[in-house]
Amino acid sequence: MAQLPGRTQQLAFSPDAERLATGHSDTTILIWNLDQFRRGGRRRWAR
Annotated domain spans of the chain? 8-46
User: Above 70 in pLDDT, residue 21?
Assistant: yes
Q: Could you say which DSSP state residue 15 is in?
A: T
pLDDT at 37: 73
Tell me which residue of 41, 16, 19 sits closest to 30, measured CA to CA: 19
Task: Read off the DSSP letter of residue 30.
Answer: E
User: Residue 22: which pLDDT band, with cuts at 50, 70 and 90?
Assistant: very high
DSSP 1: -
Please say if the pLDDT value at position 23 is more than 90. Answer: yes
20 pLDDT more than 90? yes
> Which is more confidently placed, 28 or 5?
28
